[in-house]
Amino acid sequence: MTDASLLPDGLARRIPHSIQIACASNHSERLDGHFGSCARFLIYQVSVTEARLIAVRPAPAVTQLSVDHSTERVALISDCDLLCVLSIGGPAAARVVNSGVHPFKRPQAEDISALLRELQSVLADHPPPWLTRIMSRTVTEDVI
């Protein structure tokens, strides 16, 4: 993996036939965050053959005054296809889905590299229908 702090957000060349995934993270390249309280989102492009860290997006701080901070967090990941978290509340999940991002929860914290390998295996084999729809959409966008 590349040090994402050296990558200008959004300037990386898109990997053909890839999806973009946001991972809620607090430490290093680990999936160890909850949607509403993680420190940052690590953004990856993932295809069957390649996975690339393209951005690190700091999440807004959670304060007592901000009753609903999920809108800002959704805006940070709205260009992604998937959101991977340890936990997400119902209203926040609805906002994520309404923005066109598919959220999914993992049962425990893990290195993101393991998650990406698993995702690549699913993409190469028989992805579920919802993931096939996302791949079909991104293939069309890659051609344009």
Average pLDDT score over residue span 60-80: 81
Question: pLDDT per residue over 87-128, tens digit each?
Answer: 999 999 999 999 999 999 999 999 999 999 999 999 998 888
CA atoms of 36 and 69, how far apart (whole Å): 8
CA atoms of 110 and 95, how far apart (whole Å): 25
For the chain, what is the radius of gyration of the CA atoms? 15
Q: Tell me the backbone φ, ψ of residue 7, rounded to 5 degrees.
A: -95, 125
For residue 6, pLDDT over 80 is answered with no
For residue 133, pLDDT over 90 is answered with no
Query: Where residue 122 sits, what CATH number does that domain have?
Result: 3.30.420.130
The pLDDT value recorded for residue 132 is: 79
How many domains would you assign to the chain? Answer: 1
The pLDDT value recorded for residue 141 is: 53
Q: Give residue 33's domain range.
A: 4-143
Tokens of 37: 């309280």
Q: Tell me the backbone φ, ψ of residue 10, rounded to 5 degrees.
A: 80, -5
Q: How many C-beta atoms surround the C-beta of residue 89 within 10 A?
A: 12
Average pLDDT score over residue span 14-27: 90
Tokens of 118: 């698993």
For residue 65, pLDDT over 60 is answered with no
Average pLDDT score over residue span 60-77: 79
Give the whole-number percent of the chain exceeding pLDDT 90.
Answer: 64
